[in-house]
Structure 1
Amino acid sequence: MSEVNKSRETRRWRLAFAGMVVAMLIFGSNFVISRHAVLNGLTSHDLLAMRFGVAGLLLLPGFLARGLTTCGGVGWGRGVTLAMMSGFPMSFLLLTGVTYAPAAHGATIGPGLVTVISIIGSVVMFGAVITRQLVLGIAGVLLGLICLGIAGTTHTNPSILFGDLCFVGVGLIWGMYPLLVQLWRLDALKVTSVVAVLSMAYLPFYALFFFRGFDVAPWWVIVLHGLNQGVLNVVLGLWLWSLAARALGPAVAGRFPPTIPVIGTLLGIPVLGEIPTGLQVAGIGLIISGLFIASWRRSARAPA
């Protein structure tokens, strides 16, 4: 490889690495930002409308260009199925969860269950091999979930357990989403546009039953959360993730998602003042450790 090509490849790898870091910061901080919003006047319904209203309008031209009759090129059956898993139902549970439970719980329970379901689904659907490393990782995640469940039942605020159950629902619904995208060999960004556009069907219900006017919060707060929900999390985060994952390869890219609960937990302390209890720290630590163990794979050796 020439020096020019080597330098270009190194620059490309560094940009991909930086893009993956930005994507993880977006996804990890979303739990904290969303909880901060509902603690300061906005509701989960407001955030849902911002999420799919902004993202749906941005991605609507591409959806229509690929064909309305084919549901943006993926088919209506597949499109509706994926929208149920990554659109309104999943987002509603996530944003309802941050209304009742600490942001750190959402950042650990959801990704933890998604990892468990992805591993089991990969074995059942794609014939992946179960290794001792994967078993240890799953065991760590499940033990961590048990610790958080016990902490939720013994906490003075019983609503925390309800929020945790919402996050469990997020993991169960969202866990099958990447498996189906892989099974049907769909482009991630194309699927994102389909999910965002179909989820705009929620907007009329929001306007009829949940809209409280534009004076529920300062205009800059509404704009800020609209950008966070619709642009950063739905469009930019997935775009950066998709590009970076292809450049870095699965062995390297798979090491980044476990940083989501780390970011969400650490950011929740100064921003929200949410200091976890001892049992919560143990549960979060077990889930993060399990995610790292399950996702850590050796990079392939370079050919001689």
Structure 2
Amino acid sequence: MHQTVPLSDERLRRRRRLAFAGMTFAMLIFGANFVVSRHAVLNGLSSHDMLALRFVTAGFLLLPSFMMAGGLRDCAGLGWKRGLVLAVMSGFPMSFLLMTGLTFAPAAHGAVIGPGTVTVIGIVGSVVLFGALLTRQLVLGVIAVLVGLACLGIAGTTHSNPSIVFGDLCFLGVGLVWGGYPLLIQLWRVNALKATAVVSVLSMAYLPIYFAFYFRGFDVAPWWVLLLHAINQGVLNVIVGLWIWSWSTPVLGPSVAGRFPPMIPVAGTLLAIPVLGEIPSGLQVGGIALIIAGLFVASWRRAPAR
């Protein structure tokens, strides 16, 4: 009996170290996706190609899980109404805004505007739906994020390429749509991986539209490029990243897990400099810094429920 306690404590420490490393890896996946996707659309692949690669990969891989959970009869046990709402928030509409934004605006903008908006919506939703306490720390974080978003908006309007403003608006739409997704997952108490399967399978409805109107043949890029982007979009971002996040959060606890999302804009902004050569202007640097700082302040300690 005396020997089992240290072993249990050691396993717990290993689990926490593994969860910490996993969350770091998941944030790097999400942050790098902005840069990788931006690189793809700048080198021949369209936003429609990227969407097709994402949903054909994730949809077919998660189709068995979807069918075993109940299939089309009741949308894998989730119900069609809820399933369609989640598919809008995290499936094709959200992904379409993301890929369209990356066609017009720098990857660093997407990496900060999307997560920044999601954080603001998450804080407001937690207060309204779950009775979280609105502390001074949360208010200061939200204000910093909003001021940073305003700085990026002003910088976009003064840029020589007016399409950047349109891309930034798409990223803002991503945050507005995606921000409600985790709130509904928590409100409806839906398993995150089950919700991912529903979203991925339902989003396959876009594939007939793609092949009818946007398909340009399989020679738009070398086969290995298509394969790599299919793995990045459908496997890493949709399945692996979400699974790691879902497993690591209860191991680390919400107060620790909440400190990781600010790594997304940090990773996306830093990777965009060497990979894409995107050197932000002074006002853009200020806006990005404010958003990242606001995310750290707002997420460093989760507000307790009343």
What TM-score do you get using the length of structure 1 for normalisation? 0.97
Alignment correspondent of 2:241: 237
Distance 1:183 1:266, change over 3 A: same
Determine the C-alpha separation between the residues in 1 that align with 2:98 and 2:209: 19
Instruction: State the secondary structure of the residue aligned to 1:74.
Output: coil
Determine the C-alpha separation between the residues in 2 that align with 1:22 and 1:72: 29
Contact 2:57 2:234 in 1 (8 A): yes
Alignment correspondent of 1:21: 24
Query: Would you say 1:181 and 2:182 are equivalent positions?
Result: no
Query: Would you say 1:58 and 2:70 are equivalent positions?
Result: no
Instruction: State the secondary structure of the residue aligned to 2:166.
Output: helix
Determine the C-alpha separation between the residues in 2 that align with 1:20 and 1:6: 21
4+ residue runs of structure 1 moved beyond 4 angstroms? none
Alignment correspondent of 1:30: 33
Quote the offset at 1:71 in angstroms. Answer: 0.4
Contact 2:135 2:303 in 1 (8 A): no
Aligned-residue CA RMSD in angstroms? Answer: 1.2
CA displacement 1:77-109 (0-9 Å, x = unmatched):
000000000000000000100111000000000
Quote the offset at 1:221 in angstroms. Answer: 0.4
Matches within 5 A, 1:203-282: 203-282=207-286
Alignment correspondent of 2:133: 129
Contact 2:148 2:288 in 1 (8 A): yes
Instruction: State the secondary structure of the residue aligned to 1:2.
Output: helix
Instruction: State the secondary structure of the residue aligned to 1:56.
Output: helix
Determine the C-alpha separation between the residues in 1 that align with 2:129 and 2:146: 22
Determine the C-alpha separation between the residues in 2 that align with 1:85 and 1:5: 40
Distance 1:200 1:123, change over 3 A: same
Identical pairs, percent: 71
Contact 2:134 2:303 in 1 (8 A): no
Letter in 2 for 1:236: V
Contact 2:132 2:303 in 1 (8 A): no
Unpaired segments ≥5 residues, structure 2 = none
Contact 2:67 2:76 in 1 (8 A): yes
Quote the offset at 1:7 in angstroms. Answer: 1.1
Contact 1:252 1:299 in 2 (8 A): no
Deviates more, 1:234-243 or 1:290-299: 290-299
Quote the offset at 1:3 in angstroms. Answer: 1.4
CA displacement 1:235-267 (0-9 Å, x = unmatched):
000001111111101010000000100000000
Alignment correspondent of 1:8: 11
Matches within 5 A, 1:132-147: 132-147=136-151
Q: 2:43 aligns with which of 40, 45, 63?
A: 40
Q: 1:82 aligns with which of 80, 86, 104?
A: 86
Quote the offset at 1:299 in angstroms. Answer: 11
Letter in 1 for 2:29: I
Distance 1:111 1:299, change over 3 A: closer
Determine the C-alpha separation between the residues in 2 that align with 1:188 and 1:119: 20
Unpaired segments ≥5 residues, structure 1 = none
Determine the C-alpha separation between the residues in 2 that align with 1:291 and 1:298: 12
Quote the offset at 1:291 in angstroms. Answer: 0.3
Letter in 2 for 1:179: L
Determine the C-alpha separation between the residues in 2 that align with 1:149 and 1:165: 9
Contact 2:138 2:298 in 1 (8 A): yes
CA displacement 1:203-234 (0-9 Å, x = unmatched):
00000000000000011100000000000000
Instruction: State the secondary structure of the residue aligned to 2:143.
Output: helix
